[in-house]
């Protein structure tokens, strides 16, 4: 198996961002510390090239966020607990302490470093993973939301375009739709977002319809697992990669679709995350695109830590684990088929799969779309 160069970025300073008034908050420092402990107890980090962390510059944050909003977040560094709670109450599902601005700016800065490094290594089979918090894909221009303060992946995409990258593809497999990312990229057709997320016919937060430059595969039932997510990557994402021919691929790598995560109620295994990453990596390599994964959600600590570990194993080129063969959910196949038909005019390779998904939708109960892996 070919050894690939993988860059890894993180910083323990981000552990200081915590909710001071709720010790049981879902987005807590233990998420990152569990990931780092899992990686440190394996040999994986020794095989990665460590990226020196840096905080994002104000001009980079301004690629997505307004200066007024950024300055408002800066002010939280000097607030007392009562003031912090008051500011947090003006947003949706977010908290601040005196370290939140620095942690969020560091989260963006590490993401940018991971992205810029693989861009400079284009054509050399390099990839990167940023183990960061707070996450970012719910944050919009003037709004912290859903545990997110600054939108890491959107800032990376905008920065890449400013650096002269012609086309950027964002893949978001977090269980929640990244509405902040959707809003941030809707003015640039050279940035595309593919999102698979729990939707349940519009009843699951953030209840988001499709925006410009966004390609959604909504999940209208719970319990989706490896079969559905791998089918989504192989039969939707990979054809889009080959048609769109991005010069950079960014992944909003959430792990709240993992087995045991009550936020998502999905069943993706660590092996599933391995093969999802492997399929994207192989497609990226085939079109000469650098690949950068940025950590988003994931609230069941064991699944989060193992999920990150298996993503990095895939990036390094380690052999993949066996995966259980199951039926694909018929509700999922309906969504996949509908998305393929809707977007086939823009991405012709999708049309190749339309007959397959139409057939499985009509029959309603057939074995999963088989995924064959060549070693």
What CATH number has the domain bearing residue 126? Answer: 3.40.800.20
Average pLDDT, the chain: 91
Residues of the chain with pLDDT > 90, as a percent, come to: 79
Within-domain flag for 359: no
State yes or no: is 138 an active-site residue: yes
d(CA 336, CA 196): 10
d(CA 86, CA 67): 20
The domain containing residue 227 runs over which residues?
5-322
Cis upstream peptide for 134 (omega within 30°): yes
Q: Considering its fold, how many domains does the chain have in total? A: 1
Within-domain flag for 364: no
Tokens coding 296: 């988003």
Q: Which of 364, 367, 370, 360 is nearest to 340 (CA)?
A: 360
Q: Give the Cβ contact number of residue 1 at 10 Å.
A: 9
**Packing angle of the helix pair 301-316, 270-286 (nearest 10 deg):** 30
Residue 153 DSSP symbol: H
Q: Name the active-site residue from 65, 138, 176, 343.
A: 138
Within-domain flag for 148: yes
Q: Is there a contact between 257 and 264 (Cβ–Cβ < 8 Å)?
A: yes
Binned at pLDDT 50, 70 and 90, residue 150 comes out as very high
- State pTM to two decimals: 0.93
Q: Which of 264, 273, 226 is nearest to 371 (CA)?
A: 226
Is pLDDT of 87 > 60? yes
Within-domain flag for 281: yes
Within-domain flag for 373: no
pLDDT tens-digit map of 24-64: 999 999 999 999 999 999 989 999 999 999 999 999 999 99
Position 338 scores a pLDDT of 86
Mean pLDDT, residues 98-116 taken together: 99
Within-domain flag for 131: yes
Q: Is there a contact between 255 and 312 (Cβ–Cβ < 8 Å)?
A: no
Within-domain flag for 344: no
Q: How far is CA 27 from the centre of its chain?
A: 16
Within-domain flag for 372: no
pLDDT tens-digit map of 227-238: 999 999 999 999
Return the SS3 of 172. strand
């Amino acid at each position: 198996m070919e050894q690939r160069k993988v860059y890894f970025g993180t910083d323990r300073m981000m552990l200081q961002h915590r909710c001071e008034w709720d010790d049981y908050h879902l987005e807590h420092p233990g998420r990152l510390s569990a990931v780092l402990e899992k990686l440190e107890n394996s040999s994986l980090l020794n095989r990665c090239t460590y990226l020196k962390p840096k905080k994002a510059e104000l001009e980079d944050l301004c690629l997505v966020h307004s200066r007024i909003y950024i300055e408002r977040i800066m002010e939280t560094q000097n607030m007392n607990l009562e003031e912090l709670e008051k500011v947090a109450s003006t947003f949706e599902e977010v908290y601040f302490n005196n370290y939140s601005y620095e942690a969020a700016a560091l989260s963006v800065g590490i993401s940018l470093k991971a992205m810029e490094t693989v861009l400079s290594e284009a054509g050399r089979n390099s990839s990167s993973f940023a183990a960061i918090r707070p996450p970012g894909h719910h944050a919009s221009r003037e709004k912290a939301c859903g545990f997110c303060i600054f939108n890491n992946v959107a800032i990376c995409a905008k920065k890449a375009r400013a650096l002269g990258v012609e086309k950027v593809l964002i893949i978001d497999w977090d269980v929640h739709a990244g509405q902040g990312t959707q809003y941030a990229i809707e003015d640039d057709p050279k940035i595309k977002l593919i999102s698979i997320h729990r939707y349940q016919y519009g009843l699951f937060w953030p209840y988001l319809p499709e925006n410009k430059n966004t390609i959604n595969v909504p999940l209208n039932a719970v319990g989706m697992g490896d079969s559905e997510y791998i089918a989504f990557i192989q039969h939707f994402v990979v054809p889009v990669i080959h048609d769109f021919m991005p010069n950079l691929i960014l992944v909003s790598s959430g792990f709240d679709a993992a087995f045991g995560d009550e936020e998502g109620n999905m069943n993706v295994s660590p092996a599933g995350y391995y093969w999802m990453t492997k399929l994207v990596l192989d497609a990226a390599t085939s079109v000469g695109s650098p690949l950068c994964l940025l950590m988003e959600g994931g609230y069941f600590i064991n699944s989060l830590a193992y999920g990150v570990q298996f993503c990095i194993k895939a990036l390094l080129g380690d052999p993949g684990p066996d995966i259980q063969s199951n039926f694909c959910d018929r509700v999922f196949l309906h969504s996949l088929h509908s998305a393929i038909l809707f977007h086939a005019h823009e991405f012709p390779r999708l049309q190749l799969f339309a007959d397959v998904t139409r057939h499985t939708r009509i029959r309603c109960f057939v074995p999963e779309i088989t995924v064959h892996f060549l070693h």
